[in-house]
């Protein structure tokens, strides 16, 4: 069984790293890895941390390219690799243009597709755009649908797709467990991180921010920046914001928030440093998919700057709240968490609905044709 794993962005790399490692150790599988390089710096940070050397690298990133330009390069680049590798399965993750284009390329060559993190839905093609389209297209074509939770499996069942569904847990929890363990057990790493982030020491509470959604470009990001500037006036708060490299994000964020008192704009962090920061944070304000899954697992309250989410489990459990991109709402919700300890603790005592750290093992075993006990939250 030859499995070609294809990924290209930071979150795909974080969530596929444990899968790639597990496939490599599975004796019934010949595992080959291709990165598209949809991201460059942010992808390479992850490859280096998890010590993954891809067999192929399409190096498709160019500054601020269009989605069609990107998709075209991925499809034609992969076609040549499929010819050479002749994989039995192409394994993709999530909902990026890399994953969608790789699935289309595999479908056109009648190669079976395995979809990791299948079945996430908002049922609104505009939110998130273009990801809701991407993940639905992949699921239509996939032979194996690795759903992270029972809710995502229910979505797939209701769509009467032809692929086989397995509830695996989310592989991000595998990556998180390993990385948090490394920070806990390695004094040298901890000492380095303590020194790197010593500027955050002191009694002020920490708000950790990330954001990159395309549907928030323009007014959404202007509002987010306004809310942060107002929150930064509080003397009991410090804001740490690793800024995404998309110029549609980094442009306005640096223009509006650079030099502001209490706001630390920093480069995208390697995963180890970001998990360390999340552990230190009091509140996480984000529009990220992966962060919505990780932060509740670390017991951190999460405010999500979106109107809908395809990850309803932690919202239902009480650890995540949707706040949109309205200035008053964002500011009000952060302040309520800062000022109302009872409200705050309601967010922190939830059970992790997203995984048990065994998702990659389930995926590798299923691809090798072995029996698997599904994940149950
Ligand atoms: C992409 C994914 C999104 C995912 C996000 C994770 C699509 C359509 N979007 O969005 O689903 O949630 O990644 O972060 O697949 N750039 C760099 N260096 C990097 C990365 C990006 O300079 O390491 C800049 C480049 O100018 C690039 C631009 O950001 O052209 C946009 O990158 P792209 O991958 O198209 O979109 P993201 O906004 O990163
Ligand atoms: N992340 C990281 N460094 C950062 C910010 C985020 O390693 O500076 C990690 C985060 O822990 C999560 C993933 O990147 O696992 C989320 O990526 P992103 O928000 O870019 O994409 P999304 O999850 O929304 O697709």
Q: Domain 200-348 belongs to what architecture? A: 3-Layer(aba) Sandwich (3.40)
Closest CA relative to residue 102, chosen from 37, 167, 161, 50: 37
Residue closest by Cα to atom 15 of ligand 1: 96
Ligand nearest to the CA of 286: 2
pLDDT band at 320 (very low <50, low <70, confident <90, very high): very high
- Residue 131 annotated in active site: yes
Is the C-alpha dihedral spanning 289, 290, 294, 295 positive or negative?
negative
Ligand nearest to the CA of 243: 2
Ligand nearest to the CA of 41: 1
* Predicted structure pTM score: 0.98
End-to-end distance of the chain based on CA atoms, in angstroms? 30
Indicate the average pLDDT of the chain: 97
Residue 113 dihedral angles phi and psi, to the nearest 5°: -115, 135
- Residue 294 annotated in active site: no
pLDDT score at 366: 98
Catalytic residue among 57, 131, 139, 294: 131
Continuous segment of H or E residues that includes residue 370: none
Ligand 1 atom closest to the Cα of residue 9 is 13
Identify the CATH number of the domain defined by range 2-170+355-367: 3.40.50.2000
pLDDT band at 73 (very low <50, low <70, confident <90, very high): very high
Residue 377 has pLDDT above 80, yes or no: yes
- Residue 236 annotated in active site: no
* CA–CA distance, 337 with 332 (Å, rounded to integer): 9
Residue closest by Cα to atom 13 of ligand 2: 11
pLDDT band at 351 (very low <50, low <70, confident <90, very high): confident
Residue closest by Cα to atom 7 of ligand 1: 96
User: What residues contact 256, with CB distance under 8 A and at least 6 apart?
Assistant: 222, 225, 226, 229
pLDDT band at 168 (very low <50, low <70, confident <90, very high): very high
pLDDT band at 119 (very low <50, low <70, confident <90, very high): very high
Ligand 2, pocket residues at CB < 6 Å: 10-11, 14, 172, 210, 212, 242, 268-269, 271, 274, 288-291, 294
Give ranges for CATH 3.40.50.2000 in the chain: 2-170+355-367, 200-348
How remote is the CA of residue 38 from the centroid of ligand 1, in Å? 7
- Residue 108 annotated in active site: no
What is the CA 346 to chain-centroid distance, rounded? Answer: 25
Ligand 1, pocket residues at CB < 6 Å: 9-11, 38-42, 61, 63-65, 67, 70, 95-97, 130-131, 212, 245-247
pLDDT score at 155: 98
pLDDT score at 350: 87
pLDDT band at 7 (very low <50, low <70, confident <90, very high): very high
Of 46, 135, 245, which is best to mutate to test ligand 1, by the most ligand atoms within 8 angstroms of its C-beta? 245
* CA–CA distance, 245 with 243 (Å, rounded to integer): 6
Q: How many helices (H) and strands (E) does the chain have?
A: 16, 13
| Cβ burial 23-59 (10 Å sphere, 16+ → b, else e) | beebeebebbbbbbbbbbebbbbbbebbebebebbbe
Residue 300 dihedral angles phi and psi, to the nearest 5°: -105, 135
How remote is the CA of residue 85 from the centroid of ligand 2, in Å? 30
How remote is the CA of residue 53 from the centroid of ligand 2, in Å? 20
The 3-state secondary structure of 19-56, one letter per residue: HHHHHHHCCCCEEEEEECCCCCHHHHHHHHHCCCCCCE
The DSSP call for residue 266 is E
Residue 106 has pLDDT above 80, yes or no: yes
- DSSP H helical segments within 187-288, as ranges? 187-196, 219-231, 247-257, 271-280
- Residue 157 annotated in active site: no
Residue 93 has pLDDT above 80, yes or no: yes
pLDDT score at 19: 98
- Other CB atoms within a 10 A radius of the CB of residue 202 amount to 9
pLDDT band at 147 (very low <50, low <70, confident <90, very high): very high
Residue 201 has pLDDT above 80, yes or no: no
The DSSP call for residue 40 is S
Ligand nearest to the CA of 14: 2
Residue closest by Cα to atom 10 of ligand 2: 291
* CA–CA distance, 342 with 315 (Å, rounded to integer): 18
Q: How far is CA 325 from CA 213, 223, 284, 322, in A?
A: 11, 6, 15, 9
Residue 358 has pLDDT above 90, yes or no: yes
High-pLDDT (> 90) share of the chain, %? 98
| Cβ burial 68-98 (10 Å sphere, 16+ → b, else e) | eebbebbbebbeebbeebebebbbbbbbbbb
Residue 66 has pLDDT above 80, yes or no: yes
- Residue 115 annotated in active site: no
* CA–CA distance, 12 with 34 (Å, rounded to integer): 12
- Average of pLDDT values for 95-102? 98
pLDDT score at 109: 98
């Amino acid at each position: 069984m030859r499995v070609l794993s294809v990924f290209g962005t930071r979150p795909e790399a974080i969530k596929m790293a444990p899968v790639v490692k597990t496939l490599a150790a599975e004796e019934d599988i010949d595992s080959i890895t291709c990165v598209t390089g949809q991201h460059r710096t942010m992808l390479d940070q992850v490859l280096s941390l998890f010590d993954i050397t891809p067999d192929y690298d399409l190096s498709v990133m160019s500054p601020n390219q269009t989605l069609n330009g990107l998709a075209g390069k991925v499809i034609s680049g992969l076609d040549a690799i499929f010819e050479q590798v002749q994989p039995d399965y192409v394994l993709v993750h999530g909902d990026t243009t890399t994953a969608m284009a790789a699935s289309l390329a595999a479908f056109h060559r009648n190669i079976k597709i395995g979809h990791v993190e299948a079945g996430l839905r908002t049922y609104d093609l505009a939110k998130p755009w273009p990801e809701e389209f991407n993940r639905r297209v992949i699921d239509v074509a996939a032979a194996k649908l690795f759903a992270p939770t029972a809710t995502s499996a229910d979505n797939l069942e209701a769509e009467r797709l032809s692929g086989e569904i397995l509830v695996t847990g989310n592989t991000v929890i595998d990556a998180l467990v390993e990385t948090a363990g490394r920070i806990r057990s390695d004094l040298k790493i901890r000492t380095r991180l303590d020194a790197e982030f010593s500027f955050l020491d002191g009694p002020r509470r920490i708000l950790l921010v990330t954001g990159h959604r395309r549907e928030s470009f323009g007014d959404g990001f202007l509002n987010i920046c306004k809310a942060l500037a107002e929150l930064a006036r509080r003397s009991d708060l410090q804001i740490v914001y690793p800024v995404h490299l998309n110029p549609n994000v980094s442009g306005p964020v640096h223009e509006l928030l650079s030099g502001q008192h209490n706001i630390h704009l920093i480069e995208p962090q390697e995963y180890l440093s970001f998990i360390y920061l999340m552990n230190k944070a009091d509140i996480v304000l984000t529009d990220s998919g992966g962060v919505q899954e990780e932060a509740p697992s670390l017991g951190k309250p999460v405010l999500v700057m979106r109107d809908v989410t395809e990850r309803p489990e932690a919202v239902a459990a009480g650890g995540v709240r949707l706040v949109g991109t309205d200035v008053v709402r964002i500011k009000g919700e952060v302040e309520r968490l800062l000022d109302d300890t009872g409200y705050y603790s309601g967010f922190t005592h939830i059970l992790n609905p997203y995984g048990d750290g065994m998702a990659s093992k389930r995926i590798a075993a299923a691809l090798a044709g072995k029996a698997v006990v599904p994940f149950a939250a």
